[in-house]
C-alpha cells in the first residue's frame, strides 16, 4: 500500500515568511509524528498526534511552530515568521497507534530559509 | 533524559568485510529500540524493532541484537548497496510515543 507522503518535497522561502508543510499518513494509522533533521544533528521530535489531538507537543522549539490534524488523517505543520535556523528537513511518520508500534517515515520536506 | 550514542560516526568497509555498528542508550524503562536505514535525500526506512534484552532479529545480511545497555547491528558480507546511514532510536515508557535518535553511523561499502 501507499506509504507516508509529504508535500512539498522542497521549499525555499525568505526569512520572515510563513510556511505550511503537509503530511498524509498511511491509511488507517491513528498516530502521527513530526520530526526535524538538521545538518550535523540527529532527528529531533517535534509533536505527536493521536487522532486529532496532540497529547505531546513538547518538542516544538518556539511558539512560531504549530501543527494541526483534521479528520484523523492529514496533518499540517506551520512555521510562522521563518528564521534561517528553521532550515532543515521536516519528517513526518505514522504508526497504527497500538502499543509498541513501529513508526514509518515519509520522504521529508527540505526547507531552506534565505 | 533519554540518550542514544552511536559509534562509529563513519565506517568504510570493503565488500564482503563483516562488521558491527554500536548503539548505546540510557533510558528509564525501554519500550522499544528501533533501527532505521536512511539513504541520502530520503526518509528513514524501518529495519528492526527490539523490545527486550537478549532479543535478536535478522534480515538478509543484517542482524540486530539487544542488551540492557546497547544494541548492535551486525552486517555480514556487506555489498555496496548496503551503503547508507544507519540510525538507532529508543522509545521509553516515560516519554510516551516519541523516538529519541542517535546521530547515526554512515556506512560506505566499497566494491
The model's pLDDT over B59-106, given as tens digits with 9 standing for 90+, comes to: 999 999 999 999 999 999 999 999 999 999 999 988 888 999 999 999
What's the angle, vertex CA B38, arms to CA A24 and CA B80, rounded to 5? 140
d(CA A5, CA A36): 16
Per-residue cell: A74: 492529514
**Across the interface, do A107 and B42 touch by the CB < 8 Å criterion?**
yes
- Model confidence pLDDT, tens digit, residues B11-55: 999 999 999 999 999 998 999 999 999 999 999 999 999 999 999
Residue A48: strand, helix, or coil: strand
Average pLDDT of the residues in A25-40 = 93
Distance CA A39, CA A87 (A): 9
The pLDDT of residue A2 is 86
The Cα of B28 is separated from the nearest Cα of chain A by a number of Å equal to 16
Query: Which of B50, B87, B107 has its CA nearest to residue A91?
Result: B87
pLDDT value at A40 more than 80: no
Q: pLDDT tens for residues A43-55?
A: 999 999 999 999 8
Q: At CB < 8 Å, which residues of chain B contact A?
A: 4, 31-32, 34, 36, 42-46, 49, 51, 87, 89, 96-104
Contact B69, B25 (CB under 8 A): yes
- Cα A84 to Cα A35, A92, A110, A114, distances in angstroms: 18, 21, 13, 6
Q: Could you tell me if A24 and A70 are in contact, meaning their C-beta atoms sit under 8 angstroms apart?
A: no
How high is the pLDDT of residue A99?
A: 64
Q: Any residues with CB less than 8 A from the CB of A58 and at least 6 apart, and which?
A: none
Percent with pLDDT over 70 in chain A: 96
At A36 the pLDDT is: 98
Total residues belonging to chain B: 111
Amino acid at each position: 500500500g501507499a506509504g507516508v507522503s509529504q508535500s512539498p518535497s522542497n521549499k525555499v522561502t525568505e526569512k520572515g515568511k510563513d510556511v505550511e508543510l503537509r503530511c498524509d499518513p498511511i491509511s488507517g494509522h491513528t498516530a502521527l509524528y513530526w520530526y526535524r533533521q538538521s545538518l550535523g544533528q540527529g532527528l529531533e521530535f517535534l509533536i505527536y498526534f493521536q487522532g486529532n489531538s496532540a497529547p505531546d507537543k513538547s518538542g516544538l522549539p518556539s511558539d512560531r511552530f504549530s501543527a494541526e490534524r483534521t479528520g484523523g488523517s492529514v496533518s499540517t505543520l506551520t512555521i510562522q515568521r521563518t528564521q534561517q535556523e528553521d532550515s532543515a528537513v521536516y519528517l513526518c511518520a505514522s504508526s497504527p497507534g497500538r502499543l509498541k508500534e513501529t513508526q514509518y517515515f515519509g520522504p521529508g520536506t527540505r526547507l531552506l530559509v534565505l | 533524559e533519554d540518550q542514544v550514542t552511536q559509534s562509529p560516526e563513519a565506517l568504510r568497509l570493503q565488500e564482503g568485510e563483516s562488521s558491527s555498528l554500536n548503539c548505546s542508550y540510557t533510558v528509564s524503562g525501554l519500550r522499544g529500540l528501533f533501527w532505521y536505514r536512511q539513504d541520502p535525500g530520503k526518509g528513514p526506512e524501518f529495519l528492526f524493532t527490539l523490545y527486550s534484552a537478549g532479543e535478536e532479529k535478522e534480515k538478509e545480511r543484517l542482524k540486530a541484537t539487544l542488551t540492557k545497555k546497547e544494541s548492535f547491528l551486525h552486517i555480514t558480507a556487506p555489498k555496496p548497496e548496503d551503503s547508507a546511514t544507519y540510525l538507532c532510536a529508543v522509545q521509553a515508557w516515560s516519554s510516551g510515543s516519541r523516538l529519541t535518535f542517535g546521530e547515526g553511523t554512515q556506512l560506505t561499502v566499497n566494491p
